[in-house]
Structure 1
Amino acid sequence: MNSLAIKKRKHVISLTDLSPQETLDIINRGIEYSDGHIPLGEQLKGKVIGIYFKKTSTRTRTAFTTAALRLGAQVITYGPNDLQLNTGETMDDTLNVLSRMLDGLVLRTAESPDVLRAFANQESMSILNAMTADEHPTQALADLTTMKQHFGTLSGLEILYFGEGNNTTTALALAIAKFPNMKIRFFTPPNYNIDPLLLKYAKEEGAKRNTIIEEFHDLKLLPNYTDIVYTTRWQTTGTVKSDPNWRTIFEPFAVTDQLMLKYPNAIFMHDLPAHRGDEVEASVIDGDKSIVFKQAENKLHSAKAVLEWCI
């Protein structure tokens, strides 16, 4: 039972909850793990982590499970049909039980982060958002870990994103807003934009640090320079496009060889899974400018940093 916990657990539910310094600490720690500078096995020794995924996952679920094990914790996994929530048990009762048995719970749900906040209303079990409908905070933490590791700094980086405004774009905007002198331009298809309220918040936060966050729908407004070209798959996990002609709308926003020629010094990033021939040409994602598999690997190292920071 976790009533003997010395201090209140910390949570990663939304990037809006983390200070710039906390975010940077997690990123830097993730780089240290990625570079192999930290001995493993003692950080979470004696802890028990629950992994509860209601939606499909390859990288995030594997990253957090492996990270917990590498840091010395034991892991209990729950699938979408495993908990008595499916038979009518209340979330409060489920929470009351799990928080008396687990040190941390990693969740992927289809709901808003506000639902996860109900899980966090206790002091003995950390809650980690492994993706909700409108935000994927641990993806952005892994992404910025990869960017800082690759370039040596975040300050001054310019990023171009192509594709749907989804939970990955929201997280990217919220994360980048915490750091000075960055620039990200989101090019999203008409009517597939980032949530306006979250974008407004990110823009205002970024402006405090001389960081520019913009969204466009017209590809004629492409800038002449970027350090990073980023895209995600067109079919966001758990969503369905209501417009039967959506592919026609999305096709101009694909990342092609021709686009990458416009930015000869840029690297390519993708949060995966990828659909070659849709959002990105195979020659781009499999080319020498692509760092997508290092980016995917860093989900593991970033997960170590997040678990350690929380627990």
Structure 2
Amino acid sequence: MGLTLINKKKHIISLKDLSAQETMDIINRGVEYANNTVELGHQLKGQIVGIYFTKTSTRTRTSFSTAALRLGAQIIAYGPNDLQINTGESMSDTMQVMSRMLDGLVVRTAGDPAVLRAFADQNRMSVVNAMTADEHPTQALADLTTIKQHFGELSGLNIVYMGEGNNTAAALALALAKFSNIKLSFYTPKGYGIDPQTMEYAKKEAAITNTVINEFHDLKTLPDHADIIYTTRWQTTGTTKPDPNWRDTFVPFRVTKELMDKYPQTTFMHDLPAHRGDEVEASVIDGAKSIVFDQAENKAHSAKAVLEWCMR
């Protein structure tokens, strides 16, 4: 299935901004790229994409860089100290200038999403959120691409998330709420849950699609069946935890072989980077039920779909 292309540049700042159809278009296109059914090189030929990351990144930065290049674009990479923002130039002036030179800009700030909204306040350059403090939308798009490729569908799945209610968890909730008959259960340590406003929004959206999203702070309500067990590292990029003993709070939410054995048919997912022995046992992430490296590879394929959707 191809994308419905409109000759207008668009932005992906939050999954709240995408309709269910737009989200599925990007996912389906990502699957096509993952399955090598698309001829590469012409989609963004002649365009230039800026890659501006103020925080560390392995997969997201590499995926968008390679995606742009494989689609025929050229890239300019900016580090955290490269722009005149650091010397006092206003964000507005910076973005107005960049929008007259670039066709697209992929940005990771791990900070306030309002900055990304400021980046998108112009009509010449597409802006993609590669992670802010509250949401990691392109991670969720890659995750759903992986799920669609692996299971053939999204509807009807039972997904269990274990660990911190971070920006990856928030994005999963916002993305999966758009699709029908899914059961998504978050198990997060007390005090480290998903932002209540984000959860409330996702639940309201899910009610429309007959999807059920819940969050629990203990493991007493684990479901009898799970198609996917998902976790992330306990220390999210760009964040710290004030409690020096926070790890003790997280230990019960570790994904162990014992937990995986409870669900013989389940699949394990992790957005990486992983810390074996913390959020997941090595035998799980390196085991036969793990698809984490397919998931990582699909970030590059999903990035192609995101850039194509935004910039064509």
Alignment RMSD: 0.8
Residue of structure 1 equivalent to 2:306: 306
CA contact (8 A) 2:110 2:237 kept: no
State whether structure 2 residue 66 is matched by structure 1 residue 36. Answer: no
Judge conservation of contact 1:134–1:170 (CA < 8 Å) in 2: yes
Matches within 5 A, 1:116-265: 116-265=116-265
Q: Tell me how far apart the structure 2 counterparts of residues 7 and 124 of structure 1 sit (CA, whole Å).
A: 12
Work out whether 1:55 is the aligned partner of 2:55. Answer: yes
Structure 1: 5+ residue runs without aligned partners?
Answer: 1-5
Q: What is the identity percentage for the equivalent residue pairs of Structure 1 and Structure 2?
A: 73
Q: Which amino acid aligns with 1:44?
A: L
Deviation of residue 183 (structure 1)? 1.0
2:52 and 2:106 in contact (8 A); partners too: yes
AA matched with 1:216: F
> Displacement of 1:121 after TM fit?
1.1
**Match status 1:78 vs 2:78:** yes
Output the CA distance in 2 between the equivalents of 1:56 and 1:218.
Answer: 32
User: What residue number does 2:3 align with?
Assistant: none
Q: CA deviation at 1:221?
A: 1.0
1:233-281 CA distances to partner (integer Å, 9 max, x unpaired)? 0000011111111111000000000000001100000000000000000
In structure 2, the gaps of 5 or more residues are 1-5
Are the counterparts in 1 of residues 188 and 215 from structure 2 also a CA contact under 8 Å?
Answer: yes
1: CA distance, partners of 2:110 / 2:257: 34
Question: How much does 1:28 deviate?
Answer: 0.1
Counterpart AA for 2:281: E
The answer to whether the Cα contact below 8 Å between 1:267 and 1:291 also exists between their aligned partners in 2 is yes
Name the SS of the counterpart of 1:185 in structure 2.
Answer: strand
Are the counterparts in 2 of residues 164 and 192 from structure 1 also a CA contact under 8 Å?
yes
CA deviation vs aligned residue, 1:169-227 (integer Å, no higher than 9, x gap): 00000000000111110000011010000100000000100000100001111111110
- Distance in 1 (alpha carbons) for counterparts of 2:119 and 2:109: 12
Per the alignment, in what secondary structure is the counterpart of residue 219 of structure 1?
coil
TM, length-normalised to structure 2: 0.97
Give TM-score, length-normalised by structure 1: 0.97
Q: Deviations over 1:266-306 (max 9, x none)?
A: 00000000000000000000000000000000000000000
Contact kept, 8 Å, 2:269 with 2:292, in 1: the verdict is yes
What one-letter code is carried by the residue in structure 1 that aligns with 2:231?
A: T
Residue equivalent to 1:3: none
Distance 2:110 2:148 in 1: 30
> Any conservation in 2 of the 1:26–1:302 contact (CA below 8 Å)?
yes
Q: Structure 2: which amino acid aligns with 1:45? A: K
3-state SS of paired residue (1:268): strand
Distance across 1 between alignment mates of 2:58 and 2:45: 25
SS in 1 for 2:168: helix
Q: d(CA) in 1 for partners of 2:113 and 2:37?
A: 33
> Quick one: distance in 2 between partners of 1:53 and 1:179?
31
SS in 1 for 2:220: helix
Asked whether the equivalents of residues 30 and 304 of structure 1 are also in contact (C-alpha less than 8 Å), the reply is yes
- Counterpart code for 2:206: G
Between the aligned partners of 2:49 and 2:203, the Cα distance in structure 1 is: 35
